[in-house]
Amino acid sequence: MLGLRSKGHGERIVVADWLELRKDGNRFTVVIRPGVYGPEHRSTLAAITALLDDAMPDVGLLDVLAQQEIDTICAQTAAGEYLQNPAVAVPDLVATAAARHAIDSGAATLYLQLLALPDPTDANVARWTGWPADRLKAARAALAETDLVRTAKRTRAGRSLFLPGGWTDVRRPRRPVETWKLALLATDRPGPLLPAGTVAGCFRAAWQRVEDGDAPTYKQL
């Protein structure tokens, strides 16, 4: 019915190099090899699973695994440090942001995290940077004195500094986030919000938007 040649091996039916069916009595189990699955196989997988009682596998996640970009993302290393720390991932941007906005490196680091990352909570920032409490407090205070951020209280935010502009509330396990950042994030993937590409790439993409005149701001009605 699918126009495929299937070769039976007892209770194992090989449909393609990326797909097998395992038969146990009247029950079939779909077995997928992500290493050879590609987006071009989506329609075949949908056709087969439509015949079964089981729920459709998470095709979106399979598509992510099939992307060449996933190899670059998995190859990221930080030698025991966190790539969410701009001083580790993009030290040149920390210097550029500090010079552009006349702030110190601590405030510039925090600004880049607020600008690009989906979950820059106070607890996460402390873990990513490894800074003591007094340095974190000083960085937040210095950044709060600029017009780059706003100080507020928002449910489930886990922080007090925010980019100016819209706010998008989402259900757990995702945290609510500034609407401006959604274009930088993989909103079509299941689970918590994550950068659409590498962390360093997300920092650079966010900064480039600012450079191009698309900085976070409130829109006039």
> Mean pLDDT for the chain?
82
**Mean pLDDT comparison of 74-83, 100-109, 193-202, highest-scoring range:** 100-109
pTM: 0.69
Mean pLDDT of 153-163: 94
| Mean pLDDT, residues 119-125 taken together | 95
Q: What is the rounded CA–CA span in Å between residue 87 and residue 35?
A: 34
Round to whole Å and give the CA distance between 176 and 158.
Answer: 10
Q: Do residues 180 and 117 touch, judged by C-beta distance below 8 A?
A: no
Residue range 56-72, pLDDT digits in tens: 555 656 665 555 555 55
- Helix, strand, coil shares, percent, the chain, to 5: 40, 15, 45
Average pLDDT over residues 193-201: 86
Vertex 184: Cα angle to 182 and 189 (nearest 5)? 75
Could you tell me which residues come within 8 angstroms of residue 31 by beta carbon, excluding any fewer than 6 positions away?
19, 20, 21, 22
Q: Comparing 12-26, 93-107, 136-150, which segment has the lowest mean pLDDT?
A: 12-26
Q: Are 21 and 13 within 8 A, CB to CB?
A: yes
Per-residue pLDDT tens digits for 4-45 = 444 444 577 787 888 887 777 777 677 777 777 777 777 777
Place of tokens 């106070």: 122
Omega before 192 within 30 of 0, i.e. cis: no
